[in-house]
């Protein structure tokens, strides 16, 4: 990565608001408020013989503002069935009139095969619409839910236990009409307030010396945004001399941009920042800024820089970007760079850049990965990737003589 110089002040984010519209509208919405309850019946064999019409009830549970309960009849609900079937119902357990709802009753397969016995209103068109419960105690379900002799030899019964799941979807309707007031609420300007605080320097309680330049800042703001600054200022191993901190291995314009992001929560326009429309210059800034973001654990800034570098991949910068991605564990950016370099029309040109020499010196493992990528793409015309001893990526030795490509 090269050296950066800036000649302009950092631009501020736009403060323009969207125009309001004079048209009005309203919408009627009908939807369901959904909830579920699982009811476990232990000791099924002891419940048998309790009598037709006698039930075991779950605890009540709340869905859509109403209470509900599951009723299980071991000997059936109707005398005419002569206890040949078990019955299963869901009932409205609180006061309510004409409560419209969708239901689903499921007897769970306890073998792990997923062959549940289910009766459901969900996911299908109901000719007469949702079921309406008229009053407290109203029920929906099945008198002949399951033949008892089959149930007792099935995978639904395990260790003398049954497990039942009930889903309820209470139908709710409301109309969203035009508002009787017209108050335009602007977007949040929190970043602008903090940005102006940085510009004014009021209340600053820490100074940073970076490459000969001094920057004022506020410990609490920095600590709130960066866990690294938080540990540096307020952690158990905090710096004793935290009034003026020297920042090494970073250029002043990069640190200034870092502070800008911390306070404004936005990046300045890259072209205005570098004073040029040069794609190379913007990429160089993003490279340095990504390293700074990783250093101070500013994840959102790191991802913003990674995205900008993915967009700006080019012959003259891709190698250094690839090395940067490797060093800072930017997996998506690394994949984009490898794909770009491995393409036949780019590989030779990238190899002739100074950045590629940098990769060979600092990140030799990346060359092996590049070889694997080329092999994966099946581009056999340029497979000798990842030099072996004194054999270079283009298949020649240090004296320029052609050698037989070999894969490790």
In this prediction, residue 67 carries a pLDDT of 93
In this prediction, residue 14 carries a pLDDT of 52
Rounded Cα gap, residues 57 and 71, in angstroms: 5
Do 391 and 355 contact (CB within 8 A), yes or no? no
Tell me whether strands 244-247 and 206-210 are parallel, antiparallel or unpaired.
parallel
Query: Each residue's pLDDT tens digit in the chain (408 positions)?
Result: 666 655 555 555 555 545 555 677 888 989 999 999 999 999 999 999 999 999 999 999 999 999 999 999 999 998 888 889 999 999 999 888 889 999 999 999 999 888 999 988 887 777 778 889 989 999 999 999 999 999 999 999 999 999 999 999 999 998 887 767 778 889 999 999 999 999 999 999 999 999 999 999 999 999 999 999 999 999 888 777 777 899 999 999 999 999 999 999 998 887 777 777 778 888 999 999 999 999 999 999 999 999 999 998 999 999 999 999 999 999 999 999 998 998 888 888 999 998 888 888 888 888 888 888 777 766 444 434 444 433 344 444 434 444 433 333
Domain end among 131, 151, 173: 173
CATH code for the domain in which residue 362 is found: 1.25.40.420
- Separation in Å, CA 206 to CA 22, 229, 246: 49, 11, 11
DSSP symbol at 401? -
Rounded Cα gap, residues 205 and 190, in angstroms: 21
Domain extent, residue 116, equals 29-173
Residue 286 located in a structural domain: no
Residue 238 located in a structural domain: no
In this prediction, residue 150 carries a pLDDT of 94
Name the domain count of the chain.
2
Do 168 and 102 contact (CB within 8 A), yes or no? yes
In this prediction, residue 393 carries a pLDDT of 46
Residue 72 located in a structural domain: yes
Query: Which two structure tokens, joined as six digits, stand for 237?
Result: 């191993």
Residue 221 located in a structural domain: no
Residue that has been written with the tokens 């581009």 in this structure: 379
CATH code for the domain in which residue 115 is found: 2.60.210.10
Beta bridge partners of 150: none
Residue 112 located in a structural domain: yes
DSSP secondary structure, 144-192, as one string: EEEEHHHHTTSTT-BTTEEEEEEEEEEEEEEEE---S-----PPP-HHH
In this prediction, residue 10 carries a pLDDT of 55
Domain end among 130, 150, 173: 173
Rounded Cα gap, residues 230 and 224, in angstroms: 7
Residue 402 located in a structural domain: no
Domain end among 155, 173, 191: 173
Residue 334 located in a structural domain: yes
In this prediction, residue 122 carries a pLDDT of 86
Residue 371 located in a structural domain: yes
In this prediction, residue 15 carries a pLDDT of 52
In this prediction, residue 1 carries a pLDDT of 64
């Amino acid at each position: 990565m090269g050296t950066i110089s800036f000649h302009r002040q950092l631009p501020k984010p736009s403060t323009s608001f969207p125009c309001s519209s004079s048209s009005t509208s309203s919408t009627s919405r009908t939807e369901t408020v959904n909830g579920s309850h699982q009811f476990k019946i232990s000791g099924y064999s002891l419940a048998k013989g309790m009598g037709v019409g006698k039930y075991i009830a779950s605890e009540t549970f709340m869905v859509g503002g109403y209470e509900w309960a599951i009723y299980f009849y071991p000997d059936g609900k109707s005398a005419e069935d002569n206890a040949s079937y078990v019955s299963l119902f869901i009932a409205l357990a609180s006061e309510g009139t004409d409560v419209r709802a969708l239901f689903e009753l499921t007897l769970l397969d306890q073998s792990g095969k997923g062959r549940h016995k289910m009766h459901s209103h969900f996911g299908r068109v109901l000719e007469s619409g949702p079921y309406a419960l008229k009053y407290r105690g109203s029920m929906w379900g099945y008198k002949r839910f399951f033949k008892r002799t089959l149930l007792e030899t099935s995978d639904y019964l395990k260790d003398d236990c049954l497990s039942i799941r009930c889903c309820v979807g209470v139908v709710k309707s409301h109309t969203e009409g035009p508002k009787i007031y017209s108050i335009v609420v602007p977007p949040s300007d929190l970043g602008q307030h903090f940005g102006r605080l940085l510009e004014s320097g009021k209340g600053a309680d820490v100074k940073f010396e970076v490459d000969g330049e001094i920057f004022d800042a506020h410990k609490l703001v920095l600590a709130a945004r960066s866990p690294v600054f938080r540990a540096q200022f307020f952690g158990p191993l905090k710096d004793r001399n935290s009034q003026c901190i020297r920042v090494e291995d970073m250029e002043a314009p990069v640190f200034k941009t870092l502070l800008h992001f911390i306070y404004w929560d936005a990046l300045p326009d890259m072209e205005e920042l570098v004073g040029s429309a040069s794609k190379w210059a913007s990429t160089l800034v993003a490279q340095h800024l990504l390293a700074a973001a990783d250093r101070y654990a500013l994840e959102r800034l790191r991802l913003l820089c990674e995205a900008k570098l993915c967009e700006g991949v080019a012959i003259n910068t891709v190698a250094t970007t690839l090395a940067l991605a490797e060093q800072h564990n930017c997996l998506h950016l690394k994949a984009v760079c490898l794909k770009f370099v491995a393409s036949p029309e780019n590989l030779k040109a990238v190899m002739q850049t100074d950045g590629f020499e940098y990769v060979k010196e600092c990140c030799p493992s990346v060359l092996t990965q590049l070889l694997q990528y080329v092999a994966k793409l099946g581009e056999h015309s340029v497979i000798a990737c990842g030099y072996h001893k004194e054999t270079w990526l283009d298949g020649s030795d240090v004296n320029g003589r052609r050698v037989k490509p070999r894969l490790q």
